[in-house]
Chains A and B, each alone.
Chain A
């Protein structure tokens, strides 16, 4: 596997982590009303969305740059 393939795999796992952190904070916020949980959940979901956007951008860019196979 090339660095490109491993990077896409890594970004996928990172997105899963960000979503997991977000959902765990939503779950924690239901029993504890501290703003830190809400803020971390929002941060995590935004991070997950950015990672998905970046992942697709990276994939397309690597496909376009045919020097990187």
Chain B
């Protein structure tokens, strides 16, 4: 039995099946991501002044990833237009570039951005011990300027066994520049570029620490939101790459030979999904990297 309206539109709706399906699916996706974005915005608005992390993400790398996704949305449209003009060779190349853009985006996320966070450590100091760690926090300097105080000391954790071993009483941290030189006016605002930890080591006693962890989802509401939203978005990018690869492989060639319009419709639907995924990133980027 042949499924009707996979190539031609239904006369009453003017739409073919997959187009109705993809828009219904995208509507449900809007609700999914909309809920997560709303949660992030309300967490952010409700945070104590100065408590919400800033400048932990690398803006130039995020900008590059944004440019890659925008470029991939251009190439996927070109791939679709090539099919409509029955230029299969051009379609093949445009689709290959789209797949590569998706793979590069995921590579940057999984090989560079996320591991950098997993390797970073932060310790929130108890209120009554803040004075003791003033050389690393610089709160007197911040108070003079009317800026919110710091409570976290962060950097690269030297003795990782301190995380789980109750017999180890101290954390040894190679300090981030903001804690190594806290009264430097350049540290009053977040850095645009990622700045690696310094060689300056600080010893923080566990009894002075309210809470400490690596930069994992359980570190803070910020990282929980960051990993949830970028992880879900990354899963969508992976899904798009798998679909495009399927359409790019000989399966697509066979379908093109049998019915080129059918392949063009499939690419259009996949392209609509890809544009939605890119659009989500257009909101993720300013929300997490810039604001």
**Which residues of A approach B to under 8 Å, CB–CB?**
1-4, 6-7, 10, 13-14, 17, 20-21, 24, 28, 31-32, 34, 36-37, 40, 43, 47, 51, 54, 58, 62, 65, 67-68
Contacts and interface: CB of A to CB of B under 8 A. Distances in A.
Contacts of A20: 286, 290
A13 B275 CA distance: 11
B81 A36 contact: no
A45 to B, nearest CB: 13
Contacts, number: 60
Q: Which 7 A-B pairs have the closest CB atoms?
A: A3-B268, A3-B271, A7-B77, A6-B275, A36-B192, A10-B275, A14-B70
A67 B272 CA distance: 19
A47 B66 CA distance: 11
B85 A7 contact: no
Main secondary structure of the interface of B (DSSP, over half): helix
8 contacts: A3-B272, A14-B282, A24-B290, A32-B186, A34-B192, A37-B192, A47-B67, A67-B85
Contacts of B59: 40
Given A4-B77, A10-B73, A17-B286, A40 B192 contact: yes
A28 B279 contact: no
B189 interface: yes
B59 to A, nearest CB: 7
Nearest to A15: B70
A4 B23 CA distance: 14
Nearest to B186: A32
Contacts of A54: 74
A24 B73 CA distance: 25
